[in-house]
Amino acid sequence: MTLTLEQMLKLKKERGYSYQYISEKSGVSMGTVQKVFGGLVKAPRCKTLQQLSKAFQDPAFSMESASASEEEPTRVPESYRVRSQRTDMLAESAAEYAGRKVGGKRQGEYTIDDYLQASEERRMELIDGILYDMSSPSTAHQVIVGALYAMFLQVVAKHEGGCLPLLSPLDVELGDDGKTILQPDVMILCDRSKLQEGKIKGAPDLVVEVISPSTKYKDMYVKLSKYAQSGIREYWIVDRQNETVIVYSFDVDKPVAIYGMNAKVPVGIWSGKAEIDFQKILNQLTELGL
């Protein structure tokens, strides 16, 4: 049975399927899965839809749920929840905290007003109405973020004076549904009119997230999808543990690029005229024993 993209998007959300799971079950490459479910491919080929549908053909679920009412969501066995346990724990912790402070709404129902109230005492992010608690960053994380910010400042001063490098904590309100505010680690904003009321309203041009084991799922899957749909032109994922830098170019038809942390990574929003030398950052980490 071949499902429509809309049906698969609904089932993906209900079941908590990751891109990796869908790729493995369907045989479709990870890059294609990310582009299709991230909204970068508006009209997937029939053959691609047929293959992707295989990931959702499971007897434990009724295919009728793909067209079921939103008011009667399908109950999904816990064994099919493929989000990391750590991510679930963070979400549940945030829900308990927010429930005490902002009226006990369920995850998925929170708004920006709820986020602003809850984040007064605790650092959080809001994604599609779900509150995520943000743990304190590690020393290595801070070193990478600080070094990247300094390098972007140097590049902007020399070549791209109109753009503005920024770093967390700074709220970024994506979309106009009132249910998503993120705090990217490092950003490049070229349209300064988006700086409003102490936050960015709309999509920055480039976003960098430095991932850790506790944020890996959120940064590599949840945020990737939001960034792809929001109009962000370029997204970098820095993985210190595996010493890689993953680059997604959303405004041009380019495949996902993966660099080692000893490489010079070109900045796509500036047509590759500038590069970030990650070997220098790696050297800093090594000198500090991190």
- Which contacts qualify for 18-26: CB closer than 8 Å, 24 or more apart? 18/82, 18/83, 18/217, 18/221, 19/221, 19/224, 21/55, 21/82, 22/52, 22/55, 24/55, 25/54, 25/55, 26/51, 26/52, 26/53, 26/54, 26/55
Buried b (16+ CB within 10 A) or exposed e, 252-281: eeeeeeebebebebebbbbeeebebebeeb
Identify the weakest region by mean pLDDT among 19-33, 65-79, 98-112, 161-175.
65-79
Give residue 240's identity as a one-letter amino acid code. R
If we measure between CA atoms, which residue out of 276, 151, 29 comes closest to residue 37?
A: 29
pLDDT, residue 25, reads: 87
User: In the predicted model, is pLDDT for residue 264 greater than 70?
Assistant: yes
Highest mean pLDDT (candidates 19-23, 80-84, 139-143, 218-222):
139-143
pLDDT band at 210 (very low <50, low <70, confident <90, very high): very high
The CATH architecture annotation of domain 5-80 reads Orthogonal Bundle (1.10)
Measured distance CA(231)–CA(273) in Å, rounded: 22
Q: Between 189 and 133, where is the model more confident? A: 189
pLDDT over 90 percentage in the chain: 41
Say which DSSP state 169 is in. Answer: S
pLDDT, residue 101, reads: 43
Burial class (CB in 10 A: 0-12, 13-18, 19+), 194: middle
Give residue 172's identity as a one-letter amino acid code. V
Q: Between 246 and 13, where is the model more confident? A: 246
Burial class (CB in 10 A: 0-12, 13-18, 19+), 27: exposed
User: In the predicted model, is pLDDT for residue 114 greater than 50?
Assistant: yes
If we measure between CA atoms, which residue out of 107, 98, 159 comes closest to residue 128?
A: 107
Strands (E), 97-152: 124-127, 130-133
Over range 145-169, report the average pLDDT.
90
Average pLDDT, the chain: 81
pLDDT band at 17 (very low <50, low <70, confident <90, very high): confident
pLDDT, residue 160, reads: 66
- Residue-wise pLDDT for 169-192, tens only, equals 999 998 888 999 999 999 999 999
pLDDT band at 42 (very low <50, low <70, confident <90, very high): low
Q: β-pairing, 234-239 with 130-133?
A: unpaired
Over range 22-49, report the average pLDDT.
81
What is the pTM for the complete model shown?
0.66
Q: Give residue limits of the domains in the chain.
A: 5-80, 85-133, 139-287
User: In the predicted model, is pLDDT for residue 58 greater than 80?
Assistant: no
pLDDT band at 103 (very low <50, low <70, confident <90, very high): low
pLDDT, residue 152, reads: 95
Over range 112-118, report the average pLDDT.
88
Highest mean pLDDT (candidates 56-65, 118-127, 228-237):
228-237
Other C-beta atoms lying within 10 Å of the C-beta of residue 43: 8
Over range 45-52, report the average pLDDT.
86
Say which DSSP state 238 is in. Answer: E
The CATH architecture annotation of domain 139-287 reads Alpha-Beta Complex (3.90)
Identify the weakest region by mean pLDDT among 32-36, 149-153, 188-192, 270-274.
32-36
